[in-house]
């Protein structure tokens, strides 16, 4: 699997995590939405498993609205839409478990 973005030679974590969660390339900064493309939400692995009747969850050592975990549980045109990413977890992907960490710095 390759995880480079659709629009840049050097990718960011939003595009690379989306490539892993979806299997499609998106532009840097995009969270599981078809950009380039029609802007529609892309079907993530947790959504697939949820629709199979299984429980799903996201566990991260970084805050849960960071681009990397967000690619598995949200659909946003920008990785900076952290409030919307948080809402997506509850209104779109509806994971059974969300555990996030704290950014140390």
Instruction: Identify whether 33 is part of a domain.
Output: yes
5 in any annotated domain: no
pLDDT bin (cut points 50, 70, 90) of residue 9 is confident
Is 13 among the residues known to form the active site? Answer: yes
User: Which residue of the set 13, 16, 32, 95 is catalytic?
Assistant: 13
Residue 37 placed within a domain = yes
Q: Contact 31/74 with Cβ under 8 angstroms? A: yes
Residue 1 in any domain: the answer is no
Q: Is residue 7 part of a domain?
A: no
CA angle (96, 77, 61) in 5-degree steps: 45
pLDDT in tens, 30-87: 999 999 999 999 999 999 999 999 999 999 999 999 999 999 999 999 999 999 999 9
Question: Does residue 4 sit within a domain?
Answer: no
Q: Residue 2: inside a domain, yes or no?
A: no
For the chain, how many structural domains are there in total? 1
Give the pTM: 0.90
Domain that holds residue 39: 13-99
Report if residue 104 sits inside a domain.
no
What are the angstrom distances between the C-alpha of 83 and each of 59, 66, 67, 87, 103? 18, 11, 12, 6, 17
24: which DSSP letter?
S
């Amino acid at each position: 699997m390759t995880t480079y973005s659709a629009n840049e030679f050097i990718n960011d974590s939003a595009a690379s995590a989306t490539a892993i969660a979806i299997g499609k390339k998106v532009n840097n900064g995009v969270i599981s939405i078809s950009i380039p493309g029609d802007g529609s939400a892309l079907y993530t692995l947790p959504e697939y498993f949820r629709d199979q009747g299984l429980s799903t969850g996201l566990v991260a050592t970084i805050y849960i609205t960071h681009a990397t975990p967000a690619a598995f549980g949200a659909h946003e045109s920008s990785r900076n839409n952290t409030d919307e990413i948080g809402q997506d977890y509850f209104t779109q992907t509806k994971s059974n478990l969300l555990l996030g960490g704290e950014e140390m710095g």
